[in-house]
Amino acid sequence: MKKATLFSVFSSVLILLVITSTTYGNQQSNNKGWKAGVARVVITPQEPIWMAGYGGRDHPSEGMLVDLWAKALALEDAKGKKVILVTADLLGFPKNMSDHIRDQIAVKYGLTRSQIILSSSHTHTGPVLMDALFDIYPLDAAQLGVIKKYSDNLEKKIIALTGEALHSMVPAQLFSMNGVARFQVNRRNNNETTLNKQTDLNGPNDYAVPVLKVADSSGNLMAVAFGYACHATVLNFYQFSGDYPGFAQIEMEKLHPGVTAMFFQGAGADQNPLPRRSVPIAQQYGRELAAAVDRVLNEDMKKLEPSISTAYSEINLTFSTPPTKEELIKIEKEANGYEKRWASNQLAYLKRNGSLRTSYPYPVQIWKLGDQPLMTLGGELVIQYSIELKKLFGTDIFVMGYANDVMTYIPSETVLKEGGYEGESSKMVYGMPSKWNSDIQVKILNEFKKLAAKAGVKQVVQ
């Protein structure tokens, strides 16, 4: 009788323990929060290499001012969905490199393109990469070899960096908010040489400084990813540096030892840091941007719930009427420098393929982290896209240009009509056959409406 009673009591306790354990386990699963991991790697070239941007350079690099970095932030939500943001002190990821990196990440780590962002700061004191703006550089076979070697190693570093960030994830908290900085100047509407005489600035701008704060479960700062819409063109010499975005990251990491600071470029294609052309000015802008970010970090930021939704597509953007073979031959004979190289390369493309390129697969993407939308666009994105997207989806969204593929300038409808460098002539710099068709802005904005519906981002009620 006593044995039966003891067995009954033991059984009841065991059942109670199992039920309690199961309930606690379910609560733990339901209460699971963010996980985050960060990693970084130096990507400064170890030998002289041609530098990206500024067609006026006439020889390879001469050492470095500060190191160039690639950094990665991996995030995982309560359901186990992961994303990876890679930022780099580079002019821009060209399509072939970006596609290969993202394909390898998919194979190794199971992430789709919607879950990956490759972001470049657009520094003009970084190295030339394979298949990127080749028409503006007078490259010989030796330099092409150096560029290929560097580009191949860079791909391997970024793929390994991604894995390191994914494997280092720990419980975390996420917060977001927009700050403000005002050293950008619309370069299409303000003359740099007479700027000191102006009493006001002209043209559209977006002064937002988007900030994503990542803290560990105890509230200690792990990483901060921040952006700004402004060309990284303060410096134009022969030493490697991250320009003002590089100095901003350095300053943030001084202010918060042990933190990984990451910069992403906004819609800054028609925005310049003015005045410019000296290291102290680049450092000043870096400190200004870091101060804007640090102010946000000390504000009551929006806490993000641990959920991720993503959407990605590539739009078939078309080009206007291309030049004829006769026109290209004429330019090749009469022009010099990059224009001559552009014509020669277009003629070679025409010979290989029978016709010039008529369209391009343009990448657009949305991440929704909690209730914080992040919208990414490829190419050198002019500021009007940030303005228009905020009209559609609210002023709190984050807008990132120069993401996943930097193939040429992406003009707004207005800039395309006005022409000039961003609207027309930059096609030669990037090796495109002609300018974009007039429907480019409508196509891009309409695609974002579709992606937003997939990602659960609501439009602003008009």
- Same-domain check for residues 51 and 85: yes
Q: Please tell me the distance from the alpha carbon of residue 174 to that of residue 424, in angstroms, as a whole number.
A: 41
The average pLDDT across 171-184 equals: 97
pLDDT at 31: 47
In terms of Cα–Cα distance, which of 407, 409, 174 is closest to 303? 174
Reduced to 3 states, what is the DSSP secondary structure of residue 299?
coil
Query: What are 383's two structure tokens?
Result: 């500021």
For residue 389, the number of C-alpha atoms closer than 13 Å in the C-beta half-sphere is 34
- Same-domain check for residues 264 and 338: no
Condensed to tens digits (0 to 9), the pLDDT of residues 380-427 reads: 999 999 999 999 999 999 999 999 999 999 999 999 999 999 999 898
Q: How confident is the model at residue 260 (pLDDT cuts 50, 70, 90)?
A: very high
In terms of Cα–Cα distance, which of 230, 242, 228 is closest to 187? 230
Q: Please tell me the distance from the alpha carbon of residue 241 to that of residue 67, in angstroms, as a whole number.
A: 6
pLDDT at 28: 38
Query: What are 421's two structure tokens?
Result: 């460098």
Q: What is the DSSP letter of 323?
A: P
pLDDT at 439: 96
pLDDT of 115 above 80: yes
The average pLDDT across 131-154 equals: 91
Kindly state whether residue 25 falls inside one of the protein's structural domains: no
Kindly state whether residue 65 falls inside one of the protein's structural domains: yes
Q: How confident is the model at residue 7 (pLDDT cuts 50, 70, 90)?
A: very low
- Peptide bond before 306: cis, by omega within 30 degrees of 0? no
Q: What is the CA angle 395-401-402, rounded to 5?
A: 170
Condensed to tens digits (0 to 9), the pLDDT of residues 74-99 reads: 999 999 999 999 999 999 999 999 99
For the whole prediction, is pTM greater than 0.95?
A: no
Contact assessment for residue 124 and residue 246, using Cβ atoms and an 8 Å cutoff? no
pLDDT at 338: 86
| Domain final position from 331, 353, 375 | 353
Kindly state whether residue 461 falls inside one of the protein's structural domains: no
- Same-domain check for residues 240 and 344: no
Q: Point out the least confidently predicted range of 133-137, 149-153, 213-217.
A: 133-137
Counting the structural domains of the chain, the total is 2
Q: How far is CA 365 from the centre of its chain?
A: 11
Condensed to tens digits (0 to 9), the pLDDT of residues 230-246 reads: 999 999 999 999 999 99
The average pLDDT across 332-344 equals: 91
| Domain final position from 304, 335, 353 | 353
- Same-domain check for residues 334 and 381: no
Q: What is the CA angle 333-338-339, rounded to 5?
A: 45
pLDDT of 169 above 80: yes
- Same-domain check for residues 282 and 386: yes
pLDDT at 137: 86
pLDDT of 24 above 50: no
Region for 248 from its dihedrals, namely left if φ exceeds 0, alpha if ψ lies in -120 to 50, beta otherwise: alpha
Dihedral sign (CA 57, 61, 63, 68): positive
- Peptide bond before 275: cis, by omega within 30 degrees of 0? yes
Condensed to tens digits (0 to 9), the pLDDT of residues 367-377 reads: 999 999 999 99
Q: How confident is the model at residue 462 (pLDDT cuts 50, 70, 90)?
A: low
Dihedral sign (CA 27, 309, 299, 247): positive
Q: How confident is the model at residue 55 (pLDDT cuts 50, 70, 90)?
A: low
Contact assessment for residue 134 and residue 431, using Cβ atoms and an 8 Å cutoff? yes
Spell out the SS3 assignment of 42-71: ECCCCCCCCECCCCCCCCCCCCECCCCEEE
pLDDT at 9: 40
- Same-domain check for residues 310 and 332: no
Longest dimension (CA), the chain: 110
pLDDT mean across residues, the chain: 92
Q: Please tell me the distance from the alpha carbon of residue 126 to that of residue 54, in angstroms, as a whole number.
A: 11
- Same-domain check for residues 327 and 450: no
209 CB-near residues (< 8 Å, 6+ apart): 178, 179, 180, 181, 226, 227, 228, 289, 292, 293, 296
Residue 214 bridge partners (DSSP)? 174, 223
Kindly state whether residue 17 falls inside one of the protein's structural domains: no
- Same-domain check for residues 231 and 276: yes
pLDDT at 181: 97
Kindly state whether residue 3 falls inside one of the protein's structural domains: no
pLDDT at 105: 98
Percent of the chain with pLDDT over 70: 93
Percent of the chain with pLDDT over 90: 82
- Same-domain check for residues 366 and 330: no
pLDDT of 334 above 70: yes
Residues listed for the chain? 462
- Same-domain check for residues 55 and 99: yes
Q: What is the CA angle 115-120-121, rounded to 5?
A: 135
Condensed to tens digits (0 to 9), the pLDDT of residues 282-315 reads: 999 999 999 999 999 999 999 999 999 999 999 9
Tell me which amino acid residue 420 is: G
Q: Please tell me the distance from the alpha carbon of residue 380 to that of residue 427, in angstroms, as a whole number.
A: 12
Q: Which comes out higher in pLDDT, residue 274 or 85?
A: 85
Contact assessment for residue 268 and residue 229, using Cβ atoms and an 8 Å cutoff? yes
Q: Point out the least confidently predicted range of 48-62, 104-118, 400-414.
A: 48-62
pLDDT at 156: 98
Reduced to 3 states, what is the DSSP secondary structure of residue 348?
helix
Region for 420 from its dihedrals, namely left if φ exceeds 0, alpha if ψ lies in -120 to 50, beta otherwise: left
| Element containing residue 290 per DSSP (H, E) | helix 279-297
pLDDT of 16 above 70: no
Kindly state whether residue 369 falls inside one of the protein's structural domains: yes
Q: Point out the least confidently predicted range of 175-179, 295-299, 342-346.
A: 342-346
- Same-domain check for residues 297 and 415: yes
Kindly state whether residue 330 falls inside one of the protein's structural domains: yes
pLDDT at 197: 79
- Same-domain check for residues 342 and 389: no
Outline where DSSP puts E strands in 97-146.
116-120
| Domain final position from 353, 370, 405 | 353
For residue 29, the number of C-alpha atoms closer than 13 Å in the C-beta half-sphere is 7
Give the structural domain span for 329: 323-353
